[in-house]
Every structure is written in structure tokens, then in C-alpha cells.
Amino acid sequence: MDRSTQAGLPFRKMHGLGNDFVVIDARVGDDPMTPARARAIGDRHFGVGFDQLAVILPDETAAARVVYWNADGTTSDACGNATRCIAHLLMAESGADALLLRTGRGLLECADAGGGLVRVNMGPPQTGWRDIPLARDVDTLALPLDGAPVATGMGNPHCSYFVEAADAIDLATLGPETEHHPLFPERTNVQVVQVTGPDRLRVRVWERGVGPTLASGSSACAVTVAAVRRGLTGREVAVELDGGTLQVAWREDGVWMTGPVATVFEGRLDPSLMEAGQ
């Protein structure tokens, strides 16, 4: 382990509408994260617990590069709420009101939206079966699954079921069944979506590699794209999640998502936890 790990690795616990993150700033020194360490830190009983862990790394042109880890030790190219949290940190640090972050999704534009809100352009959606990706060529607007859900890529795969009552769905059963369906070679995030108005959606989320989560920025973007493609809403939508509401707008330059961020606490990871995760 490097010196920062031996001394207790500094971290922040943050969240966006209850979608919670461990944030590690590794712009100086080595990237400390491994799959085993991510699993150890992500354990909500023996570690810190998180929906995603985000490592901030240096970048030559963007404000930073960000790598996202799931609680099961896998990585993801996209995490909208974590991106907003990190943008908030770095804008506060630099005094800027806008910046670029490099992710597996590419360069993402982030901006201070005022009133404690941060917005991020999550980029254009992916609607072709190879890009999402799916295992074979099917209609992404009506997948050959019970309920004919919609598939969307936002740098990570999403499967959105439109239902009469989102709160009545057994997400604990539907979520893992769909996440691990053979149609999704990289597994998938799962949403149940209720249209409650021409510009409003009620959504519950099962997150790939995590399970049920209070909010998901990329999911909010995906369900908005799916609803627009089906002609159910306009292109600017309030997405009501279990943890609160995100504003999403599908524009020519990409899908913009706006919402609040919060820091819960700062601390240091005990060296024994890092050793256990080697």
C-alpha cells in the first residue's frame, strides 16, 4: 500500500437524492482502488457502504477524470448523480461555475445551476441494439420480454418498464431477473415507470451491481428518452424517484440532468479495511 493508504485513505460520503457515494480524490498519488477494495468499502455492515464509489484522477485537458465502481467490484462508464457531486466539489475548489469531467462516457459538461443545484450533460442516448448493448438485433422500443420494456444506453444499459402503478411492482423480483437476462450481455439497470403527466414520471430503480436505489441520474435520463420515444411525454420531464425529483431535458446536444447534491461527512478509511480488500 502507498503512504496515503497506510495512513488511512481520505474520502467523502456524498449523495444526490439519497443515491450515495464514496468519493476518493486521487489526483495526487496512485489510484488506490481495486475490485476487492471496492467490495470491502461498499459493504454496508463491515465497510462504509455506497451505491457507487467514484475515484477522481488527474486529466490533461478536463478538470479531472472519474472512474465509477459498483458495490460488487465492477466498474461503470456512467453515473449521473456522482458526476454532479464531483462537479460540485471541483467547482467549489476552483471558483468556476462550469467545467468538463472525463468519464467512460466521454467528456461531460457540468455547470452550477444555482440554488444548490448542479446540471450535467450526460451526452446523446444510445438506442441501437449494438450500442446499448443487447445480445441480438431486436426492437429496442419494445423488447421481447414480458411487458415489452424499452432499452436505452446512457453509457450504461437501461431497461424501462412502463406500468400503471410503479409502487405496486415487485421490483425485488423483476429487478434481478431483468438485470441478469441473457438479452443483456453486460447486465442492465432496471426501471419501472409510471407516467403521471405530460411532463412527469414516477420511477423506481434497480441498479446493476447494486440493487434497489433511491435515485439514479442515468436512469432518470434513460426513462425520459424512453418516454419521449414512445410519445408519452415532452422532452423536458420531472422524474420523481424514491429519493426526490430530478429535472431532465433531452436536447440536441445531449440529455441534461439537474438536481441537488449533498456532502454527508468526511473521514479516513482504516488501513485494515484496505488490507482486507487486497
Q: Which residues contact 250 (CB under 8 A, 6 or more apart)?
A: 125, 221, 224, 225, 228, 235, 236, 256
Q: Is 80 part of any known ligand binding site? A: yes
Identify whether 79 is a catalytic site residue: yes
Q: Is 52 part of any known ligand binding site? A: yes
- Selecting among 79, 85, 110, 221, the annotated active-site residue is 79
Q: Which residues contact 248 (CB under 8 A, 6 or more apart)?
A: 220, 221, 224, 236, 237, 238, 239, 255, 256, 257, 258
What's the rounded Cα separation, in Å, for the pair 89 and 261?
10
Q: Is 207 part of any known ligand binding site? A: yes
DSSP state of 34: -
Q: At what angle do helices 80-94 and 217-229 cross, to 10 degrees?
A: 120
Nearest partner of 58 among 31, 21, 22, 96, judged by Cα: 31
Q: Is 156 part of any known ligand binding site? A: yes
CA angle 127, 128, 130 (to 5 degrees): 130
Q: Is 191 part of any known ligand binding site? A: no
Q: Is 217 part of any known ligand binding site? A: yes
Nearest partner of 222 among 172, 136, 167, 155, judged by Cα: 155
Containing 229, the helix (H) or strand (E) segment is: helix 217-229
Q: Is 6 part of any known ligand binding site? A: no
* Cell matching residue 15: 449523495
Q: Is 216 part of any known ligand binding site? A: no
Q: Is 189 part of any known ligand binding site? A: yes
* Cell matching residue 249: 431535458
Point out the residues that are catalytic.
Answer: 79
Question: Which residues fall in the annotated binding site?
Answer: 19, 52, 70, 80-81, 156, 189, 207-208, 217-218
Question: Which residues fall in the annotated binding site for substrate?
Answer: 19, 52, 70, 80-81, 156, 189, 207-208, 217-218
